Amino acid sequence: MRQGDHGMAAFILMESSPVMLAPWLSLSARVLANGTSSFEKAHGEDLWSYTAANPDHSQLFNEAMACDARLVVPVMIQGCPGLFDGLSSLVDVGGDNGSTIKLLVKACPWLQGINFDLPHVVSVAAEISGVEHVGGDTFESVPKADAAFILWVLHDWADKECIQILKKCKEAIPEDKGKVIIVDAVIQEQEEMDKLTDARLMLDMVIMAHTTTGKERTLKEWGFVLGEAGFSRYTVKPIRASQSVIEAFP
């Protein structure tokens, strides 16, 4: 099986599991905006609480995210040469078991990597050469590094939470050379639609079904949360994936 096929297999296995299918039958809870998410309606708690309490689902979730990282990271590095030049340290915010930062440190061996996630997540992460696992809460603080890296995390949260996370990332990086690298979908306006637009809109539906307040964002919506978080400027570069690379500068 090719690497790309394996990545899709892990994602499909997760999304077709009974745990992840059940919220689709309760989607009206999210649409009605009555304070209950589809996932909570189906399982009695949000996705993150359920995942923390159910190791089997946690493993399935981490495998899907790890395989997605193996697909996206090489495309990102190829499409954004020089992205990590001038940096000596990088913290992966919401890095799960460290699979993403492992790929980044391997591709850019001059980087000292930090894998940052909830304590129960990093406590079972395997040791990785050149990477330090750090447990904590991204809403409270982020480990110091030259840059913060956020892959497919911010779409899990509403604007208020996104701004809070981005503020903590901004506090963690140096004012002069620091930056926050976001890899997430950017929904195009009608006149800018491309062949991946449908995939991004599909992801928006998936996020609606599985998170409490998450969503995929348009360029205007990204500009709003970045501005509210205090970043002076940002750039957006599409890559050969459903995500784009957003670089935000203090």
CATH number for the domain spanning 122: value is: 3.40.50.150
The number of domains in the chain is 1
Residue 185 lies in a domain: yes
Its domain, for residue 212, covers: 72-249
Question: Which tens digit of pLDDT belongs to each residue from 34-86?
Answer: 667 888 889 999 988 998 899 888 888 888 888 878 888 999 999 999 999 99
Query: Is residue 197 included in any domain, yes or no?
Result: yes
Does the residue 135 lie in any domain? yes
For residue 130, tell me if it sits in a domain.
yes
- Can you tell me the distance from the alpha carbon of 26 to that of 66, in angstroms, rounded to the nearest whole number? 28
CA torsion, points 38, 42, 43, 48, in degrees to nearest 10? Answer: -20
Flag whether 241 is in a domain: yes
For the annotated catalytic residues, the residue numbers are 155
Q: What is the pLDDT of residues 126-172, one digit of tens each?
A: 999 999 999 999 999 999 999 999 999 999 999 999 999 999 999 99
- How far CA 250 is from CA of 18, 76, 95, 188, in Å, comes to 43, 22, 22, 25
Task: Evaluate whether residue 3 is within a structural domain.
Answer: no
Residue 35 domain flag:
no
Query: Rg of the chain over CA atoms, in angstroms?
Result: 17
